[in-house]
Amino acid sequence: MFAAASAKRRLKRGLAALKTGDSAAARESFDASLRTARLGEVWLVAGDAASSLGDLARDADDLPGAEHNYRLAATQYRRAPRSARSVGGRVRCLENLGDVLLLEGRPWDAYREFQDGAKAAGVDPSRPTGTTDGVEFVSREDLRWTSHLATAAQAAGRRKLANDHYERVLAGCELRGDIAGQIMCWKGLAALAEDMMAWNDAAHALYNASNLYPALPDPEAHTREWVQCLRDLGTVYKTLGRRDEQVRAFKLAVRLEQVDSSARSAATSDSGTDTAR
C-alpha cells in the first residue's frame, strides 16, 4: 500500500512539473515513481511513469532513451491487471515505439512493433479487404494500424507487403467514404510504383489521388498538396512521353496556384483593413 501511494504521489508531482514546463523536475519525479512502483509491483503506475519518461526523451530528440522507456512501459502495462487503461497505455507505447524506430532508421523493427500494437488493440490488418457479401464494418483503428504497417514496410523496402497493406487500407477507406484516407493510399501506391519504375502504375495512382481533392470537405485548405500531386503527375507523364497529359496536369497546377495566391492576398488585405479599423 505504501509503495502504491508513494509511486502515485511522485507521478502526480511529475505531471504537475510538466504543466509548469519544468522538464528536469518532471523527469526526476517520474524516475522516482518508476523505481518505487516496480519495487512495489504497482505495474500500472510504473507503466505511466515509464511512458512519461519516453515522451520526455522523444521530445528532447533522445531516441535511444525514448525507445528504452517505451519498451519498459509496454512491459509494465502488460504485467498490470487487464483493463481499458492498461491495454490503452500499452497500445500507445507500442505505437510511439514504432514511430521512434522509424526515426532511428530501423523500419523492420518498427513493423514488428506495429504488428504487436495492432494485436494489442484488437485490430486485424486483413479486415479492410476481408469483406463478407461486399460489406463489413471497418473501424478507424483498422485503417490507422494497417497504414502504420504499410509505412514501415515501405521504409524497409518490402514493397509487395507495403502494396498489400495500402490496398487493404484503400479498400477500407472506400467502404467508409474516407476521401483523405484514399488520397493517402494512392500517394503511397504511387511512391511504391516509382521506386519500382512502374511509371504507368504511378501515373494511375497519382491521377486517382489528384481527382479526389475536390471531394475533400475543405479542398481549399489542401490546395498546396493538390498542386504538388499534379506536378508529380506531370513529371511521371513526362517520363512516359505523354506530353498532352503532362501539359494538362501542369496547367491545372499553375491555375490552382494562381487562385490560391489570389485568395491569400485577399485574406491578407482584409485582415489589414480590419486592423486599421
What is the number of alpha carbons within 13 Å of residue 270 lying toward its C-beta? 6
Work out the angle at residue 272's Cα, subtended by the Cα atoms of residues 267 and 277, and round it to the nearest 5 degrees. 125
pLDDT digits (tens, 9 = 90+) for 73-111: 999 999 999 999 999 999 999 999 999 999 999 999 999
Q: Is 216 helix (H, G, I), strand (E, B) or coil?
A: coil
Q: Which residues pair with 135 in a beta bridge?
A: 132
Q: Match domain 1-122 to its CATH number in 3.20.20.30, 1.10.10.10, 1.25.40.10, 3.30.360.10.
A: 1.25.40.10
Of the candidates 32, 100, 37, which has an alpha carbon nearest to the alpha carbon of residue 65? 100
pTM for the predicted model, two decimal places:
0.77
Cell 508529380 belongs to residue:
232
pLDDT digits (tens, 9 = 90+) for 201-221: 999 999 999 999 999 988 888
Instruction: Render each residue's pLDDT in the chain as its tens digit; 277 residues.
Output: 567 889 999 999 999 998 999 999 999 999 999 999 998 889 999 999 999 999 999 999 999 999 999 999 999 999 999 999 999 999 999 999 999 999 999 999 999 999 999 999 888 776 666 555 554 556 778 888 888 999 999 999 999 999 998 888 888 888 888 899 899 899 999 999 998 899 999 999 999 999 999 999 888 889 999 999 999 999 999 999 999 999 999 999 999 988 878 766 765 655 555 555 5
Domain extents in the chain: 1-122
